[in-house]
Amino acid sequence: MPYTFPLGPYHPALEEPFKVKVQCQGEVIDSAVVEVGFSFRGIELVAQKRNWVEVITLIERVCGICSNTHAMTFCMAAETIAGIELPRRAAYIRTIIAELERLHSHLLWAGIGAEDIGFHSLFMEVFTLREKVMDTLEAISGNRVNYGMNCIGGVHRDIPDPTVYLPVLDELTRVLNEVVIPTFTQNPTAIARTRGVGPLTREQALEWAVVGPVARASGLDIDVRKDQPYLAYGELGFKSFVQEEGDVFARVVVRALEMLESVRLIREALLSLPAGPLKAVSGLPTIPVGEATIRTEAPRGEAFYYVASEGGNTPARVKIRTPSFVNIPAIEPMVIGQPLADLSIIQASVDPCISCTDR
Amino acid sequence: MAMLKTVLANLLQPSRTRAPADMPPVPQTYRGALVHDAGRCTACGTCAFVCAPKAISFTQVPGISVSWHFFIGQCSFCGLCEQNCPTHAISLETAVPGVMNNAAGDGLRLESIIALKPCTRCGAAHVPLPESAMGSQWSEEEKGYCPECRRWAASAKLRSAFIPAETATPAASPALEGAGHD
């Protein structure tokens, strides 16, 4: 006899409210309905009532994990409208912060994923590693989250001595290569809980328009850093990783390889940090009439911003489309035919960020 | 056997949890307690303008003082007030911020009073500019002028540079013009 099982909104797997309502036939899931909107904050509307400086602080709070991406994308949109050219040093510092943030986001996800499959010792290992990334971010920006690095036309803080962060990167590469990646890809427990679980074919990935690591794990080679290079990505060179299988295992592998690529990007950016000013403008910015659309690659995929200005103190419109907004509905095709017990790791495998989605 | 080895190895190692006295270093960029220096503040209002959660506000007692107010319950420690302050009157120290009980009421509130001074020329009460903002372009006497009198003094200087003193009519001479602003 079929029955309906609600997972959430108070979640056993994530500390954020969203609901997956599944129809089950015995142990096997027949269909699923995803519901979001339990923590709506109306940031897009509030953004129209704050001036151009205040909005950056507000936009930074769209997401608790990838906060820098949002503030950075908004600043890039404002810079496009005002025709401000970003100083090269500022572009490199933004790239370093963005990649450190990606590392911390992917490590957070790897830890939560390990916990979801009951692998607590791996969770501890991953979170110890993540702590090193958080310490680096704190040393550079002064905060573990909400770094407050971006302003329109540049960055607020410098990286005075880039070489002091290189030992941390060596340690990250070592632990990722020796502990985290082998455990996820070779440990029988981890393989049994991830391989063949929650598949999303290439056709389904196109149909559900998924982005980021979820799309790359289903064989779609899309990455804004490669397709439309921004900041320093064009100069540093960028390699994207694609897996064809489309299951949870493929998503783990894609994120693991991306972490190593992020470490490489941070190392190269730190070593080739150009000299120059941090900001292109001084004082409070004035943004002329105009509009801009900007895409950046957030840790979870493509973030899209539309910003319109009517020349006043406040933006006329800030439209935000976050990667989780398109990735979360794709849980519906992933769980069909899967055991109920795998629901938790399948929905965690898209790395859903409810804070972004509900913004 | 492997487990026994791990247990023995861990027995010989110090604790992985830090002792309370073993504090991690605080980065120099850490945004902690907010400090306001009334001596440098010109009450221009930039900090209140850029403060997204509206934690900073100004009140005034006309003719006597302007007060800078800060409420920690609303502060998000973004550091924009420090970044944008033209006279560096605000700084976010590496010290731990004060008590923040809740956003509704009983957290830490700071008040910093900027006393108004009478203008040495016209007597109008005004916010004195800090020494660092005055620079060397004003004489000792002119440093006590209110903004209106400074504007008058600047235009008088400009005028005397263009019109030599001997050809100027008595009415245009700054010394004879009296205490008016225009």
Rounded Cα distance between A266 and B65, Å, is 51
Closest residue in chain B to residue A145, using alpha carbons only: B78
Contact B118, B124 (CB under 8 A): yes
Report which residue type is found at B110: L
Q: Provide CATH code, domain B29-115.
A: 3.30.70.3270
State the ipTM, two decimals.
Answer: 0.73
Q: Are residues B49 and A58, on separate chains, in Cβ contact within 8 Å?
A: no
Mean pLDDT of B131-136: 71
Q: Are residues B30 and A157, on separate chains, in Cβ contact within 8 Å?
A: no
Which of A227-241, B13-27, B106-120, B152-166 has maximum average pLDDT? Answer: A227-241
For Cα atoms B19, B25, B29, give the angle at the middle one, nearest 5 degrees.
145
Per-residue model confidence (pLDDT) at position B167 = 59
Distance from CA of B37 to the nearest CA of A (A): 20
Which DSSP symbol is given to A177?
A: I
Write down the pTM of the prediction: 0.83
pLDDT at residue B73 tops 70: yes
Selecting from B29, B50, B84 the residue whose C-beta is nearest the C-beta of A142 gives B29
Q: Are residues B51 and A54, on separate chains, in Cβ contact within 8 Å?
A: yes
> Which tokens belong to A251?
């998503």
Buried b (16+ CB within 10 A) or exposed e, A63-102: bebbbbbbbbbbbbbbbbbbebebbbbbbbbbbbbbbbbb
Per-residue model confidence (pLDDT) at position A180 = 87
Per-residue model confidence (pLDDT) at position B173 = 47
Which DSSP symbol is given to B160?
A: H
Per-residue model confidence (pLDDT) at position B172 = 47
Instruction: List the 140-159 stretch of A: residues with Cβ below 8 A of B.
Output: 140-143, 146, 148, 151, 156-157
Q: For chain B, where are the E strands, in sequence order? A: 34-36, 56-61, 65-71, 90-92, 109-115, 117-118, 125-126
Neighbouring residues of B22: CB distance < 8 A, sequence distance ≥ 6: none
Q: Categorize the per-residue pLDDT at B176 as very low, low, confident or very high, splitting at 50, 70 and 90.
A: very low
Selecting from A143, A151, A283 the residue whose C-beta is nearest the C-beta of B31 gives A143
Mean pLDDT over the full length of chain B: 78
Rounded Cα distance between A73 and A77, Å, is 6
Domain boundaries, chain B: 29-115, 125-164
CB burial of residue A140 (10 Å; 0-12, 13-18, 19+): buried
Strand order in the sheet with B56-61: B56-61, B65-71, B109-115
Q: Mean pLDDT of residues grouped by 10 in chain A (359 residues)? A: 81 75 88 86 89 89 87 92 89 92 91 86 89 89 86 88 89 89 87 87 89 89 87 85 88 90 91 87 84 91 90 88 89 88 85 84
Considering only CA atoms, which of A57, A89, A61 is closest in space to residue A75? A57
Per-residue model confidence (pLDDT) at position A293 = 93
Rounded Cα distance between B93 and B97, Å, is 8
DSSP string covering A6-54 = EE-SS-SS-SS--EEEEEEETTEEEEEEEE--TT---HHHHHTTS-HHH
Selecting from B52, B77, B83 the residue whose C-beta is nearest the C-beta of A54 gives B52
Closest residue in chain A to residue B82, using alpha carbons only: A156
Q: Are residues B80 and A53, on separate chains, in Cβ contact within 8 Å?
A: yes
Distance from CA of B67 to the nearest CA of A (A): 22
Contact B89, B40 (CB under 8 A): yes
Mean pLDDT of B63-83: 85
How far lies A163's CA from each of A44, A88, A267, A269, in Å? 39, 19, 9, 11
* Chain B residues bordering chain A (beta-carbon distance below 8 Å): 24, 27-31, 46, 49-53, 76-80, 83-84
Contact A294, A76 (CB under 8 A): yes
Domain boundaries, chain A: 2-350
Phi-psi region of B77 (alpha: psi -120 to 50; beta: other; left: phi over 0): left
DSSP string covering B41-81 = -----HHHHH-TT--EEEEEETTTEEEEEEEGGG-----HH
Which positions in chain A touch B31 (Cβ < 8 Å)? 142-143, 148
Per-residue model confidence (pLDDT) at position A92 = 92
pLDDT digits (tens, 9 = 90+) for A55-103: 998 898 888 888 899 999 999 999 999 888 889 899 999 999 999 999 9
Element (DSSP H or E) covering residue A134 = helix A120-141
For Cα atoms A129, A132, A147, give the angle at the middle one, nearest 5 degrees.
125
Count contacts between A and B (CB, < 8 Å): 55
Residue position matching structure tokens 């994530």: A14
Residue position matching structure tokens 């607590």: A120
Is A151 known as a binding-site position? no
pLDDT digits (tens, 9 = 90+) for B145-165: 888 888 888 888 888 888 776
Closest residue in chain A to residue B85, using alpha carbons only: A283
Cis, peptide link before residue A17, omega less than 30° from 0: no
Per-residue model confidence (pLDDT) at position A99 = 92
Query: % helix / strand / coil in chain A, to the nearest 5?
Result: 50, 15, 35
Other beta carbons within 10 angstroms of residue A221's beta carbon come to 11
**β-strands B56-61, B125-126 pairing:** unpaired
Selecting from B24, B29, B53 the residue whose C-beta is nearest the C-beta of A157 gives B29
Considering only CA atoms, which of A244, A194, A237 is closest in space to residue A220? A244
Selecting from B28, B30, B78 the residue whose C-beta is nearest the C-beta of A57 gives B78
Is A63 known as a binding-site position? yes
Per-residue model confidence (pLDDT) at position B180 = 55
Buried b (16+ CB within 10 A) or exposed e, A301-318: bbbbbebbbeeeebbeeb
Q: Categorize the per-residue pLDDT at B168 as very low, low, confident or very high, splitting at 50, 70 and 90.
A: low
A5: helix, coil or strand? strand
Mean pLDDT of B90-102: 75
Query: Hey, which CATH number is domain A2-350, 3.40.50.620, 1.10.645.10, 3.40.1190.20, 1.10.760.10?
Result: 1.10.645.10
B89: helix, coil or strand? coil
| End-to-end Cα separation, chain B, in angstroms | 95
Per-residue model confidence (pLDDT) at position B101 = 60
Sign of CA dihedral A272, A277, A280, A285: positive
